[in-house]
Amino acid sequence: IIKHSNLTEILKKHSITNILSTEYISAGLHAWSQSQRITLLGIPFRMQINFENKLWFDTFMQKHNLPKPRSSVYTSGNNVFPLPYPVVIQDAESEGGEGTFFVHSQQDIDTLLGEALLTRNKPYMIREFIDAPAYGITLFISLSTIAISSVRVQCVVKEPDTRRDIFIGLQWIPSP
């Protein structure tokens, strides 16, 4: 949208040099803002990247004694698996449901490697699979306000061909 719009022209015409972003700042938006000398106001991009990185975030949770499922780093293609099945394997740098796999056996891992959904010799976050609904909220914190979103539930569907569980993201739960 930015590439094929006149947003930059309009911002410059009105001497706008700052944009308040209440949403996730993507790598593309970050690069665009730097190239246009526009300051994005919000969570610093580097901090967003850290919190989205599953390996970094797991270390953060552990360091601050926050509750989390048992977890470990797993290098795909390695025959030593540090947690009992079933587990959730996550690409450290994935977003949303992309790069999240529910694994019940070594055969599942071999299939993911064979389909190039996992990359050999790459570190992945593996977490204990907890058979319960997964919920999430979003927090917005400023100097004067703390806003909490409605509760969301993580949704999973069965892939038609393989019957493999596919994480499809978060869905809002209707208010009572």
150-165 tens-digit pLDDT: 777 777 777 777 767 7
Span 101-127, average pLDDT: 89
Span 17-40, average pLDDT: 81
List residues bridging with 20 in a β-sheet.
41
**Residue 23: pLDDT band with limits 50, 70, 90:** low
**Residue 26: pLDDT band with limits 50, 70, 90:** confident
Q: What is the pLDDT of residue 3?
A: 56
Q: What is the pLDDT of residue 15?
A: 86
- Quick check: 48 pLDDT over 60? yes
Q: What is the pLDDT of residue 22?
A: 64
- Quick check: 108 pLDDT over 80? yes
- Quick check: 77 pLDDT over 50? yes
| DSSP strands (E only) in the chain | 18-20, 39-41, 71-75, 87-91, 100-103, 123-128, 135-136, 139-141, 146-148, 152-158, 165-172
Q: What is the pLDDT of residue 46?
A: 75
- Quick check: 85 pLDDT over 50? yes
**Residue 91: pLDDT band with limits 50, 70, 90:** very high
pTM of this structure = 0.61
Pick the range with the lowest mean pLDDT from 15-24, 89-98, 133-142, 150-159: 133-142
Q: What is the pLDDT of residue 1?
A: 45
Cα separation values, 14 from 29, 32, 33, 64, 112, Å: 20, 18, 16, 45, 51
